[in-house]
Amino acid sequence: MTETVTNARTTRLVVSRRKEGDDPGALRYDTFDVAVGPSTTILDALVAIRRELDPTLTFRHSCFHASCGTCGMRVDGREGLACVTPVPTRDEVTVEPLGNLPVVSDLVVDMNVFYDEFDEAGRPLVRADDLIPECAPAEGIDQVERYEDCIECGICLSACPVAGSDPRYVGPAALAAAWRLIDEPRGRDPGPVLSLMDDEQGAWRCHLAWECSEACPSGVDPAAAIMRLRGAAAAARVRRLFSFGGNR
Amino acid sequence: MTTNLPRQPFHVAIVGGGGTGGALAHDLVLRGFRVTLVERGELTSGTTGRHHGLLHSGARYAVKDRESAVECIEEREILRRVCPGTFEENDGLFVAITDEDVAYEPLFVESCLASGIPARRVSREEALRLEPHLNPDLKMAVQVPDATMDAMRMPLRFFASAKAGGAVIRPWTAVTELLVADHLVSGIRVRDLTNGVEEEIQADLVVNATGPWAEQLAVMAGCDVPIRPSPGVLLAVRGRWCNMVVNRLHPSGDGDIVVPQRGLSVVGTSSWVVDDPDDLGVPEDHVERMYAEGAAMIPAIRTAERRAAWSAARPLIGSRDADSGRELSRTFKCFDHRETDGVEGFVTISGGKGTTLRAMAETTADVICRKVGVEAPCQTREVVTLPHTAYYAA
């Protein structure tokens, strides 16, 4: 294991081994018995499996601290980042890839679909910080720079019941990214993004299940962003309605 | 801005999908090479993605490792240019807590300035105004142009650009064998872990860009790389307790840096040496030390909720007798194994750090050009890389 523990227990990990092109109905799982300690995470356990039991196991990971967003997966059916999900104190734990994205191999999903939608929102990576009161800029400093909270992990998309039933839905991550651009345009015209998301497959498709905000490991609250997008879209429609002689 | 260099008839296989491999793929593609990069896991899943996310000004190295310090400040400026919108540029503070720290300040500032690193003395009052969560007992501080990087997304820009330029990037592809005959490496044998298919990839040159795994790969060709995998423990706590990168103003030691990352603060690091970079462990006493040393600079860290603790292995070059890793230089080295082991067609790049990934690539690509007799200037100082999201473009 990745740490020295005296009170190690053994947990059985039941890991999905589907490959690209497999019949989605044909589920295949392998089981691995792993010694775990009190702070062993699902990612630690997967790394140990790959090192000691099966070098062919594939999964995504990079930063090990909930910053890169690569290790999103489902543990006993619930979405989470493997690097900050402790191995539950149960005899058996099931680990599966994120839902609503194509599986490439084992726990690896194809993120291209996610980024295609995400890219449409066109949100920059770095923003000016106006949301973190504990670290407001010092007097005399105009603003500080800060990465956006969204770590592009795909967990919200996996947790979303609408995305599960309708692949045309833009999805919570892209909508939340769009809202960030509209909320803080940073010199860009937010109009086109708002029009894009003011669509029946955009902001209006959400069912208010709030699963995305529940599952987000990075405090983004996509559901609230979708509600604000709706407000902005409705306001823009009203403005258009009354802009006689305007250019629309 | 880019010159369209003629296509070269040479194929380079890069082993290792960390920042160095990505930057090298980008550099070689711009010089007209055909490139295939293989990585056994996800890109940046080795050392690159696990680092604390510091874009070094070089100040940390100025006193004892001038070469690394100068490399850092130069590369910092280049990366800001070729990776726009990728860094939190809030500067860094080196804070003096004890009289001993204060006594270190003149040498520190002098060494920074001599390395070309802007360094400004800041009073206790100003430091506390800039960063209200700092230890109120601090004596003074020095401001330097440190910044925060996203340890995965910054390198991904290089992968995205390389891919758009025609490089074949293959994560989840493990090298099972180097193809060696008569002291010549002619390619790699790989297994695609996504489908189990094994194949041979012929190459005019194979580059070992596996960081702390460099020795493991080199022995497959009967070569030697004097690498010391030197892990350090990092601790991420909840709460963004600073906007600037906060360092302790003293000689490099354990737990002397706090890097803000989104809603987290990352404290690093410790240093020891291991034989197997796949088996690092996270010693709990090191985690405790991160809490204690981090709290010496920012007291709120003491009680902040632990988000994650992990280890990352630095690929330090140097004597196998080194016992802590601290005494080894943070600079990098490119080994042409024809010169070191009499093996042709095989080059290792190792050492270095995230901040110098581009420079490491430039040096390696220069060696490659010289080996195959191609004259093609490096363009990565000027060519703006694609956004990280472009890596995933269909």
In chain B, the domains with their CATH numbers are 8-53+150-226+318-394 (3.50.50.60)
Q: Min CA distance, B46 vs chain A (Å)?
A: 7
Name the band, by pLDDT with cuts 50, 70 and 90, for residue A152. very high
**Residue of A15, A42, A52, A68 to mutate, testing the B interface (most B Cβ within 10 Å of its Cβ):** A68
Name the percent of chain B lying above pLDDT 70: 95
Check residue A4 and give its pLDDT. 47
pLDDT digits (tens, 9 = 90+) for A65-123: 999 999 999 999 999 999 999 999 999 999 999 999 999 999 999 999 899 888 888 88
Q: CB-based burial of residue A145 (10 Å sphere; 0-12 exposed, 13-18 middle, 19+ buried)?
A: middle
**Size of the A and B interface in Cβ pairs below 8 Å:** 169
| Tokens describing residue B226 | 């004097």
pLDDT digits (tens, 9 = 90+) for B61-102: 999 999 999 999 999 999 999 999 999 999 999 999 999 999
Q: Min CA distance, B375 vs chain A (Å)?
A: 36
Averaged pLDDT, B331-341: 91
Name the band, by pLDDT with cuts 50, 70 and 90, for residue B322. low
Task: List CB contacts (< 8 A) between A36 and chain B.
Answer: none
Check residue A2 and give its pLDDT. 45
Q: Min CA distance, B111 vs chain A (Å)?
A: 28
Check residue A130 and give its pLDDT. 53
pLDDT digits (tens, 9 = 90+) for B147-159: 999 999 999 999 9
Question: For residue A120, what is the enclosing H or E element?
Answer: helix A112-121
User: In whole angstroms, how far apart are CA A173 and each of A63, A160, A223, B2, B340?
Assistant: 20, 10, 9, 35, 51
Averaged pLDDT, B98-122: 97
For residue B392, pLDDT beyond 70? yes
Assess contact for B327 and B315: CB atoms under 8 A: no
For residue A215, pLDDT beyond 90? yes
Report the side by side order of strands in the sheet with B227-238.
Answer: B120-123, B140-144, B92-96, B245-248, B257-261, B264-268, B227-238, B306-317
Task: List CB contacts (< 8 A) between B86 and chain A.
Answer: 125-126
For residue B1, pLDDT beyond 60? no
Angle between helix B357-372 and helix B19-30 axes, rounded to 10 deg: 50
**Residue of B194, B291, B301, B391 to mutate, testing the A interface (most A Cβ within 10 Å of its Cβ):** B194
Averaged pLDDT, B139-165: 97
Specify which of A120-124, B2-6, B229-233 reaches the highest per-range mean pLDDT: B229-233
Mean pLDDT of chain A: 88
In chain A, the domains with their CATH numbers are 9-101 (3.10.20.30), 112-242 (1.10.1060.10)
| Tokens describing residue A157 | 């998309």
pLDDT digits (tens, 9 = 90+) for A16-51: 998 877 776 778 999 999 999 988 999 999 999 999
Check residue A170 and give its pLDDT. 93
